[in-house]
Structure 1
Amino acid sequence: MASKDPHRSEDRDGPLADYRRKRDFARTPEPPGTHAPGTSGDTGRFVVQIHDATRTHFDFRLEVDGVLKSWAVPKGPTHDPAEKRLAVPTEDHPLDYRDFEGVIAPGEYGGGTVIVWDQGTYRSMATDRRGNDVPFADALAAGHASFWMDGAKLHGGYALTRTRGGPGRGETWLLVKRKDRHAAKTDAPDPWRARSVLTGRTLRQVAAESDGAAGPDQPD
């Protein structure tokens, strides 16, 4: 009789099914996590991670309905409303992924180094065409959601807009900074110079420490 996998119990068919299916938790340090129903609302936490995978990119994650809704943003979020950032949806992640920082083993899904570039809270600014408030999860499902971010590095209004496809059908989105007092002509950092908001480390430092070869590292 096959042994029961504790990571695939109550959420086997839930929102974290894809996340777990893609990972071997005996080999990856990523958290298995659990779905946290009852945490839905129009406020929540967010994290932006830098991920040196096949291509180095930023992962943009918003807490919605007990999971982290996630998008890969190749160029990273910007403070400039004139710049539009491609955002490609990825699988939902567990809430405790907010603090994940480390090295995913080569050969595993998403293999590479991860740092937490920014984290904080957000609140919905989603409305319908008449200006009435719309539940944030409903706004995302409809393909357009505005929100206010209060992070260590990201502040002010942003919007996510679906530009192609639908759920499970080759979706692409745009992440855009709204015009407000936090707008500026500044861009996302060079991911190799950026430092973790949790530990102050760079991607190189995290990778080196994982290899047991940590040493002084200066951004270049």
Structure 2
Amino acid sequence: MSLKKYSEKRNFNSTTEPKGDAVKPKKELVFVVQKHAASHLHYDFRLEMDGVLKSWAIPKGPSMNPADKRLAIMVEDHPYDYKDFEGIIPEGNYGAGKVIVWDNGTYTLADTQEEGDIKSDLEKGKLGIILKGHKLKGEFTLVRLKGKQENAWLLIKKNDGDGSYDDVLLQDKSVVSHVTLEDL
């Protein structure tokens, strides 16, 4: 897992995004969901793996409704330090727009607690995870779509008792700064 693509897309002289390096994984794996008003509003779903954040852009945002299947486009890995990034990416930069930490927390694998299986499951195209966040809780599955572009996945909430028909996206404040995108 490399940060080369991440670094190539950014001009660190004009953006406050972290340069970051891969870090040694902590005992608990972290996840973050950043609400990002760039050319189109979307949510960036990031899972810590091997000291970086594997990342997917979710155009409609995550859902707690097990009936919803949300398209998730895998994008470049991000540095671990990006998990705390909030702010405005200036015009003329990749991803220009406002970013808040919409949700964060820790996660484990749903089927096994073996950290080494994360990469294997990811390569196979199916990753079951249990999120322990402020807004997102319970079991989810990331599934790579077959016959589509290599980076197209679905994020699906499992019917596990934590699901809800309520629109979780209405909880629009940052879990870090308690501001909305509009407040930035």
For normalisation by structure 2, the TM-score amounts to: 0.93
Larger radius of gyration: 1
Q: Structure 1 counterpart of 2:145, which letter?
A: T
1:181 aligns with 2:161: yes
Equivalent residues in 2 for 1:158-173 (5 A)?
Answer: 158-164=140-146, 170-173=150-153
Cα deviation, residue 164, structure 1: 3.5
Bigger strand share: 2
Cα deviation, residue 188, structure 1: 3.7
| More relative contact order, 1 or 2 (CA 8 Å, 6+ apart) | 2
Which residue of the other structure, out of 114, 118, 121, is the alignment partner of 1:139? 121
State the partner residue of 2:5: 18
RMSD across aligned positions (CA):
2.1
State the partner residue of 1:156: 138
State the partner residue of 1:62: 47
Cα deviation, residue 125, structure 1: 1.4
State the partner residue of 1:203: 181
After superposing on structure 2, the runs of 4+ consecutive aligned residues of structure 1 that deviate more than 4 Å are none
Once residues 163 and 108 of structure 1 are traced to their aligned partners in structure 2, the CA distance between those partners, rounded to angstroms, is 30
1:78 aligns with 2:49: no
State the partner residue of 1:39: 25
Cα deviation, residue 165, structure 1: 5.8
**Contact between 2:135 and 2:168, CA under 8 Å: does it hold in 1?**
no
**Contact between 1:45 and 1:120, CA under 8 Å: does it hold in 2?**
yes
Q: Structure 2 counterpart of 1:75, which letter?
A: K
Cα deviation, residue 180, structure 1: 0.7
Q: How many residues align structurally? A: 183
The runs of 5 or more residues in structure 2 that have no matched partner are none
Cα deviation, residue 170, structure 1: 3.9
Once residues 25 and 86 of structure 1 are traced to their aligned partners in structure 2, the CA distance between those partners, rounded to angstroms, is 30
Once residues 160 and 90 of structure 1 are traced to their aligned partners in structure 2, the CA distance between those partners, rounded to angstroms, is 14
**Contact between 1:50 and 1:116, CA under 8 Å: does it hold in 2?**
yes
State the partner residue of 1:111: 96
